[in-house]
């Protein structure tokens, strides 16, 4: 990945949902190999901020700028967004799901097996998603981070439904991603133990 000089800067960002101002005047910047952990009470706008970064939510005011990425592509096209919903189809098999993401999200050669093994799903490859437990679905959803390499990971409570072993696996993957020059913005209640991760507390009216 040529992401060494990637940097994301957010200036004076505001978000309005249903006529309510969720946050305003939010500014921060994030360089390559850096992680930002969003914290704050419910309704502070963690999910909204992630969706704004992914281009899934309109920016009411302010701007989000990415430099050093692919100028032909939007931020959303260079980012993974893992939200509360798993975006899985019960009647598709695990491996079909990965293969669909790889061809749809613009694939760089890397076998579906790598992604499945990274999340410990290899033995479930042929099973329909309908048979998976909540934690397995979550892991499959996260497998997309590995299946399709993209420099920016936007994770909204990625550890929900995961057991301790899976959380450790996810943290290892996140560290690996940062090691390769990637960038992570994650909203989480759990201390993931990412060394040097910066914190952004929303809802306190202060942006760090």
Partner 1 sequence: MADMNRISAAQRFHAYANPARFMALSARLLAPLWGLSLLVVGAGLWFALFDSPPDYQQGETVRIMYVHVPAAWLAMFGYSVMAVASAAGLVFRHPLSDLCAKSAAPIGAAFTFLALLTGSLWGKPMWGTWWEWDARMTSVLILFFLYLGYIALWATIEEPARAARAAAVLALVGAINIPIIRYSVVWWNTLHQPASVFRMDGPTIAPAMLLPLALMGIGLTLLFVALLLVRMRAEVMRRRVRNLRLAQAASAGEA
Partner 2 sequence: MMRAFLALLARDLRLAVRLGGGGGMAVFFFLVVIALLPLGIGPDRELLARVAPGMLWVALLLAALLTLDRLFQADYEDGSLDLLSMGSLPLELVVVAKALGHWLTTGLPLVVVTPLLGVLLNLPGEAYAPLILAMLIGTPALSFLGAIGAALTVGVRRGGLLASLLVLPFYVPVLIFGTGAANAASGGFSGEAGQQSLILLAAVALSSLVLGPLGGAAALRANLR
| The only residue of 21, 87, 206, 208 in contact with partner 2, by rule CB under 8 A | 87
Query: Two tokens at 54?
Result: 């992914």
d(CA 23, CA 49): 9
> Is residue 86 near partner 2 by the rule CB under 8 A?
yes
Structure tokens at 15: 């978000």
Name which of partner 2, partner 1, none residue 123 binds, using a CB cut-off of 5 to 8 Å depending on partner kind.
partner 1
**Per the structure block, which two tokens stand in for 148?**
């399709």
Strand-strand pairing, 79-82 and 152-156: parallel
Per-residue contact string for residues 25-64; x = within reach of partner 2 by CB under 8 A: -----------------------------xxxxx------
Q: Are 48 and 15 in contact (CB under 8 A)?
A: yes
Site for partner 1 in 115-144 (CB under 8 A): 120-121, 123-124, 127-128, 130-133, 135-136
Note whether 165 binds partner 1 by CB under 8 A: yes
Give the whole-angstrom CA distance, residue 144 versus residue 97. Answer: 9
Q: CB of residue 77 vs partner 2: minimum separation in angstroms?
A: 6
100 binds partner 2 (CB under 8 A): yes
Binding-residue total with partner 1 (CB under 8 A): 14
| DSSP symbols for 74-104 | -TGGGEEEE-SS----TTSBHHHHHHHHHHH
Binding site for partner 2 (CB under 8 A): 54-58, 73, 76-77, 79-81, 83-89, 91-92, 96, 100-101, 103-107, 144
């Amino acid at each position: 990945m040529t992401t060494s000089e990637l940097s994301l800067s957010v200036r004076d960002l505001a978000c309005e949902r249903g006529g309510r101002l969720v946050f305003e005047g939010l500014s921060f910047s994030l360089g390559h190999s850096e992680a930002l952990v969003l914290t704050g009470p419910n309704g502070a706008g963690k999910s909204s901020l992630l969706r704004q970064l992914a281009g899934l939510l309109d920016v009411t005011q302010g701007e989000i700028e990415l430099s050093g990425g692919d100028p032909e592509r939007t931020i959303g096209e260079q980012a993974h967004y893992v939200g509360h919903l798993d975006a899985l189809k019960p009647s598709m098999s695990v491996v079909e799901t990965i293969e669909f993401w790889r061809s749809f999200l613009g694939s760089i050669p890397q076998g579906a097996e790598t992604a499945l093994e990274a999340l410990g799903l290899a033995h479930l490859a042929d099973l329909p998603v309908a048979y998976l437990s909540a934690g397995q679905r979550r892991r499959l959803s996260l497998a997309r981070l590995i299946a399709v390499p993209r420099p920016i990971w936007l994770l909204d409570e990625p550890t929900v439904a995961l057991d301790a072993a899976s959380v450790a696996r996810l943290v290892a993957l996140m560290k690996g991603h940062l090691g390769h020059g990637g960038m992570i913005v994650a909203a989480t209640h759990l201390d993931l133990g990412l060394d040097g991760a910066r914190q952004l507390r929303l809802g306190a009216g202060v942006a760090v």
